[in-house]
Structure formats: structure tokens, C-alpha cells
Amino acid sequence: MLEQLEQLFLNFKQALPTLGSSADVLNLKAEYLGKKGSIAQVLKSLKDASPDQRKVLGGRANAVKDEIQTLIVTRLSDLEQEEINRKLASQRIDITLRDSVMAASTNSGGVHPVTLIWHEIEDLFLSMGFEILDGPHVEDEHHNFEALNIPADHPARDMQDTFWFHNPHDQSVDHRHLLRTHTSTVQVRGMSERTPPFRFIAPGKVFRAERTDASHEMVFHQVEGMMVGKDISVSHLIYFMKSILKEIFKREVTIRLRPGFFPFVEPGFELDIHCLICDGKGCSVCKQVGWVELLPCGMVHPNVLTAGGIDPNQYNGYAFGLGLDRLVMMRYGIDDIRHLHSGDLRFVSQFKHY
């Protein structure tokens, strides 16, 4: 009977390592240690044994029972650890790897088309020797109007519906503040910190209290540009603008120059491009005329040079104000400027992804 017990124990020790799940181990446990299990059978048969045999056999049977119990607990905890290791290996994410983080996230984001073209334009102008300047959104009346040859009561002020900040205590020109209506404000700031010759651009947001429609927004973007030196002519301006537009649209663009009135330039022009959305046939963006006003420009007015601390008898220059949002619309065939500020991710995610 002792032999039978040892054989049982041996069988158990052989079976245990072959089991791969805790359920199988618990079943085996029941088979050996259960009420009607193998060990219980052995113990039951003790009643037929002699007292000496019973002592030996009983002691051994209880020892085997304890050992089986211990082996089972160990095996169960081994199985649990194996399971954890397996999960760790299969669900491993290396957060230092860019792609694994991107793959785990559902949205990968995009660059806003205005930002895309903004950066492209900066690169292009930098490659042509221009500096890039910045200016405040909240401006004083002097930089937005006076220094640009637009005194109070000048009819040109009506062309730019302005968001004013109300300051009942101080109404002087240097202290009345507004949200800049154009990036031309950077002209005087840029000039007064430089000696000619120089050339710079100033891209940024501008604000107008306007009614919105397919081609007008209250917040939009301009790129102001200025080149000051000796003997600068309109042909310099046309050359630079044609080069820029060709790079941006990756093809020759048809342009036309019309006289335009802006108090800070003389002569002033409107540079239009052939509408690329409808190919000149007429659409909501070009207001059915086939041309889009993209670039008002001109030769800097002597009064403005003087306001910037530059002697107009020695130097001259050109300036332009490129409409960035229109450029974006032409480039991507967007027919309503309001999409650009809609905050709609379905719109933005169509552009370049990180």
C-alpha cells in the first residue's frame, strides 16, 4: 500500500508540470486531494491495516498530502506569473519610440493650411534676403493710422472698420488703442530700427469689424513687406512678387496691375491674380470677375519714410500687403474663407500631417 501511495505521488509530480492553466491544476488537485480523491482512498483503506502499518502509512499519506498542497500553490503562482509575463511581452509599448505613441493615439493632427503657407512664405522671403519681423496685435493709433499718412478724419479710415479699445481717460493719438487693422503697422516700427538698405516682411493676424461672407472674415492674415534703399522701382516689386507667387503655386501665375489708392504709398497699385479656383470663369471667391485682389502695393510715401526716420530725398522703397488667407484659398481650392476659422477637424486634417 505504501508503494501504491508513492506511485500516486509520482504520477502527480509528473502530471503537474504538463498543465498549462490554473483550471487544470485545480482539477488535478480535486483528483488527488478531493473528498473522493486518490489520497482519500488510500486513507480509507487504512482501516484494514495493522496498527504499525497504519502509523507508517498514515504519517506518509499526510506528508504526501501536504507536499501536494504546497506543489499546487507553487504551480498556481508560477502560472499567474507566466500569464503576466506573456501580457507584458505582447502589449509592450516603447513610449520613447515616436511611431508606437502615434499608433496608439487615434488622432494624429495636422498643420493648419494658413500656418503651412505662412511658413513657406517666410522661407521664400528669407531665401531672398528679407528679415522677418513681428508686431503687436494691440496697436496704438499712431502706428496703425497717423504714421501711415492716415490722419483722423481721413476718409481712408472708413476703409478699415476698426475694433477700438475704449479709454475714456486718455484720447491722445499715442494712447488710443485698437486691434491692428493691417500689418502695415510694422512698417514704421521696422524703419525706425534700421538704416537703409533693408528689406523685411511682417506676417501676422489682423482684425476688422466686418460682416463675414465667403471672402471676408473679422480675423485674417496679411504679410506686410517692405524694401527700402536707393533707386528702388516698381519693377523690383513686380519681380519679387512674381517669383513668390510662382513658387507658391508651382506654376506661372497671370497677374495684372491696376492703380489703387492707399495713403501710405504713391503711386499705389492693386496686384490681382487670375482666379485659380474657377480659372477666370467667375466664382464666389473672385466675385464673378475672374480676378482676385491679392496684393495691394506701391512706392512708399515720403511722409511715411519721414515718420520712420528715413530721409525721402536720399532713399525710396516699395511696400506691399499680401492677403495670406486668399493665397491659401487659391492654393487649395477653398471657396469660403470661413472654413479657415471653423475649427472643424475634418477640414484641418486634410492638410499636412505630422
Phi-psi region of 115 (alpha: psi -120 to 50; beta: other; left: phi over 0): alpha
Pick between residue 65 and residue 221 the one whose CB is nearest to ligand DAH. Answer: 221
Question: What are the C-alpha distances in Å from 348 to residues 101, 249, 258, 334, 343?
Answer: 21, 20, 35, 12, 8
Determine which residue in the list 113, 204, 296, 317 makes contact with ligand DAH, applying CB under 6 A.
296
Q: Which residue is nearest to ligand DAH (CB)?
A: 321
Find the shortest distance in angstroms from Cβ 353 to ligand DAH. 33
As a whole number of angstroms, the distance between CA 28 and CA 117 comes to 71
**Residue ranges in 235-294 that form contacts with ligand DAH under rule CB under 6 A:** 262, 265, 268
Pick between residue 37 and residue 298 the one whose CB is nearest to ligand DAH. Answer: 298
Cell numbers 487544470 label which residue?
A: 24
Determine which residue in the list 204, 298, 308, 317 makes contact with ligand DAH, applying CB under 6 A.
298
Residue 61 burial (10 A CB sphere; 0-12, 13-18, 19+): buried
**Residue ranges in 24-83 that form contacts with ligand DAH under rule CB under 6 A:** none
Q: In the structure, how many helices (H) and strands (E) does the chain have?
A: 12, 9
Lay out the site mask for ligand DAH across 192-231 (x = CB under 6 A, - = otherwise): --------------------------------x-------
Backbone angles phi, psi at 137, to 5 degrees: -75, -40
Could you give the 3-state DSSP secondary structure of residue 211?
coil
Cell numbers 482539477 label which residue?
A: 27
Question: If binding means CB under 6 A, how many residues of this protein chain bind ligand DAH?
Answer: 12
* Contact call for residues 257 and 269 (beta carbons, < 8 A): yes
Find the shortest distance in angstroms from Cβ 277 to ligand DAH. 22
Find the shortest distance in angstroms from Cβ 91 to ligand DAH. 56
Q: Quick check: 182 binds ligand DAH (CB under 6 A)?
A: yes
Find the shortest distance in angstroms from Cβ 271 to ligand DAH. 10
> Which residues bind to ligand DAH, rule: CB under 6 A?
182, 184, 224, 262, 265, 268, 296-298, 319-321
